Amino acid sequence: EAQVTQNPRYLITVTGKKLTVTCSQNMNHEYMSWYRQDPGLGLRQIYYSMNVEVTDKGDVPEGYKVSRKEKRNFPLILESPSPNQTSLYFCASSSLGQVGKYNEQFFGPGTRLTVL
Amino acid sequence: DAKTTQPTSMDCAEGRAANLPCNHSTISGNEYVYWYRQIHSQGPQYIIHGLKNNETNEMASLIITEDRKSSTLILPHATLRDTAVYYCIVRVYFGNEKLTFGTGTRLTIIP
């Protein structure tokens, strides 16, 4: 089954304790992205990657790191989490695909992170 | 990007057609209308998109008015699993750029 997986799905941690949220897709997609979703603020992009070893900042990259060493994986790293990073996080992927064809983004199930 | 206006919430009886409106009166000629939905705290899901012609796929139909200032997403036979927040997005044709959702319409399917 074509899918984007994220782990963990739920995480409660404390301020300053480094954590990684993994994201993996099995669709051979070039493009991957991380979003956070907060009440009243909608979906905001954190980082994205157009291909292996190519990453770029989205709208809210502060406090986050990413890496893209393999095509299928795009982990999100919080080196020193703070309470304002408490949020619902989504990973998404899509094909860069054919010119003129809309390449829909496929989203993972989400990771609900609480930083105390 | 053109601004969109959607009702905050709607109800629809199970088995009936759900018609979700979206106003985008400032849409420009090269902007498309996209619809995504998000079932309670799950990842958003693409539904359909269109430019000016009506579009239909296995999930829904999209009706765009002739002046393109508004559109309607139609779920022909709504089921309880269609209960979700539906987002209308107007953007220049894009493939992999970030998605930005507004507040959307919370659709509740009533048994």
Look at B41 and A35 and tell me if their CB atoms are within 8 Å: no
Token pair recorded at residue A36: 């956070």
| pLDDT above 60: residue A29 | yes
Confidence of residue A41 (pLDDT cuts 50, 70, 90): confident
Residues of chain B with pLDDT under 70: 1-2, 93-98
B44, B93, B96 ranked by CB distance to A107: nearest: B44
With beta carbons less than 8 A apart as the criterion, state whether B72 and B12 touch.
no
CB contact under 8 A, B99 and A97: no
So what's the pLDDT on residue A43? Answer: 85
Residues A79-93, mean pLDDT to the nearest whole number: 97
CB half-sphere exposure, B32, CA atoms < 13 A: 16
Predicted confidence at residue B32, as pLDDT, reads 87
Interface mutation target, options B55, B96, B101, B105, chain A, most CBs of A under 10 Å: B96
One-letter amino acid identity for B74? Answer: I
Please, what sign has the CA dihedral across residues B102, A39, A95, B60?
A: negative
Confidence of residue A98 (pLDDT cuts 50, 70, 90): low
The pLDDT of residue A92:
94
Q: What is the pLDDT of residue B3?
A: 84
pLDDT tens profile A53-68? 999 999 899 999 999 9
* Interfacial A residues in 15-34 facing B (CB < 8 Å): 31, 33
> Which amino acid makes up residue A86?
T
